[in-house]
């Protein structure tokens, strides 16, 4: 018996635009339905996004890698006790649990007259621990030499805090408790159907509980298929230097770099702030 011919796929007239985006456009059709390959690819991407949301942060492995960069790492936890609570109660992911808060308060009280650090780095799992585990250490490895080689005033760093079940705003509480001039939160962004491994960086000048999104800046979509780590480190260094000179972030601090500049992979960069992190 002869094999039945494969159902033909009717292409769309604008298929050439697919080279500009990972979005699911110009899929064509098979009869009145989408092609089988496109349907299976969607199911795979959806499964990868769900896996990224529920993947646990490898705190031990991350701590080892961060120590290798010469960083002092303090493990902390949000008030969301587990992943289910974190997903159901966003408010609990924005604040520290009692033990973590007490640790930071005690450390600050032990040296009350110490000079405030310029930067407090916070690494949090967010909605994609995968994005953080793949991109946080490479970004810091690229950024730290730029900070150390800064021709201007030397940057001083608070201990890096590694937060489980954290959201963006938890950085403001941490920065306030550490007395830092600026807090920088590296966090896993909400997985899209083509980006389960994306990381965003949010930073606030004069961090304190109660800041809103208009008072912080973001460099987003940091991943191998998005904004390359080297480009993200350059952009972040420029923005942090500008924030220190002007003593502000958010709507008062604009990215003055060229967002359309060619990247290392020959594509163009999306402007910062286009990703979605777990607020």
Q: What mean pLDDT, rounded, does the chain reach?
A: 87
CA distance 137 to 66: 7
Do the Cβ atoms of 261 and 269 come closer than 8 Å? yes
pTM given for the model: 0.85
In this predicted structure, what is the pLDDT of residue 258? 60
161 has which bridge partners?
A: 74, 122
In this predicted structure, what is the pLDDT of residue 241? 94
Output the DSSP codes for 152-184: SSPP-BPPEEEEES--TTHHHHHHHHHT-SEEE
Strand 199-205 relative to strand 216-222, pairing: antiparallel
Among the listed residues 190, 184, 172, 163, the one whose alpha carbon sits nearest the alpha carbon of residue 278: 190
Could you count the other beta carbons within 10 Å of the beta carbon of residue 186? 28
Terminal-to-terminal C-alpha distance of the chain: 59
Res. 232: pLDDT tops 80:
yes
In this predicted structure, what is the pLDDT of residue 112? 60
Res. 270: pLDDT tops 80:
no
CA distance 138 to 278: 21
**What are all long-range contacts of 105-108, with beta carbons under 8 Å and residues at least 24 apart?**
105/177, 107/159, 107/178, 108/177, 108/178, 108/179
DSSP conformation class of 117: P
Which of 100-109, 153-162, 214-223 shows the lowest mean pLDDT across its residues? 100-109
The string of pLDDT tens digits covering residues 28-57 is 888 888 888 888 888 888 898 898 899 999
Res. 161: pLDDT tops 90:
yes
Among the listed residues 135, 160, 144, the one whose alpha carbon sits nearest the alpha carbon of residue 237: 144
In this predicted structure, what is the pLDDT of residue 20? 83
CATH 3.40.50.11240 fits 56-252, yes or no: yes
Mean pLDDT of 163-170: 97
**Residue extents of the structural domains in the chain:** 56-252
Do the Cβ atoms of 242 and 250 come closer than 8 Å? no
In this predicted structure, what is the pLDDT of residue 268? 42
Cα torsion angle, 71, 72, 74, 75, sign = positive
Do the Cβ atoms of 169 and 199 come closer than 8 Å? no
Question: Between residues 219 and 19, which one has the greater pLDDT?
Answer: 219
Question: Between residues 169 and 151, which one has the greater pLDDT?
Answer: 169
CA distance 38 to 23: 12
Cα torsion angle, 119, 122, 123, 127, sign = negative
3-state class of 58 per DSSP?
A: coil
Question: Between residues 17 and 139, which one has the greater pLDDT?
Answer: 139
């Amino acid at each position: 018996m002869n094999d039945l011919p494969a159902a033909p796929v009717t292409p769309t007239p604008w298929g050439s635009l697919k080279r500009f985006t990972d979005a699911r456009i110009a899929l064509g059709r098979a009869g009145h339905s989408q092609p089988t390959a496109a349907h299976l690819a969607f199911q795979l991407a959806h499964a990868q996004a769900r896996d990224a949301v529920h993947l646990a942060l490898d705190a031990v492995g991350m701590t080892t890698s961060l120590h290798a960069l010469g960083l002092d790492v303090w493990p902390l936890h949000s008030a969301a006790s587990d992943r289910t609570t974190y997903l159901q109660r966003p408010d609990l992911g924005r604040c520290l649990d009692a033990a973590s808060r007490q640790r930071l308060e005690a450390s600050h009280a032990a040296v009350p007259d110490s000079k405030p650090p310029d930067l407090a780095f916070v690494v949090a799992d967010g909605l994609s621990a995968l994005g953080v585990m793949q991109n946080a250490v490479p970004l810091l490895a690229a950024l730290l030499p730029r900070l150390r080689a800064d021709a201007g005033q030397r940057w001083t760093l608070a201990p890096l805090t590694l937060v489980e079940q954290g959201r963006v705003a938890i950085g403001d509480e941490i920065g306030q408790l550490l007395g830092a001039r600026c807090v920088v939160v590296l966090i896993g962004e909400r997985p899209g159907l083509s980006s389960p491994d994306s990381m965003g960086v949010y930073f606030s000048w004069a961090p304190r509980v109660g800041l809103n999104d208009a008072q912080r800046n973001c460099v987003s979509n940091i991943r191998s298929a998005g904004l390359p780590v080297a480009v993200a480190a350059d952009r972040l260094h420029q923005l942090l230097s500008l924030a220190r000179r002007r003593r502000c972030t958010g709507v008062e601090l604009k990215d003055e770099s060229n967002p359309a500049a060619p990247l290392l992979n020959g594509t163009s960069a999306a402007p910062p702030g286009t990703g979605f992190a777990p607020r």
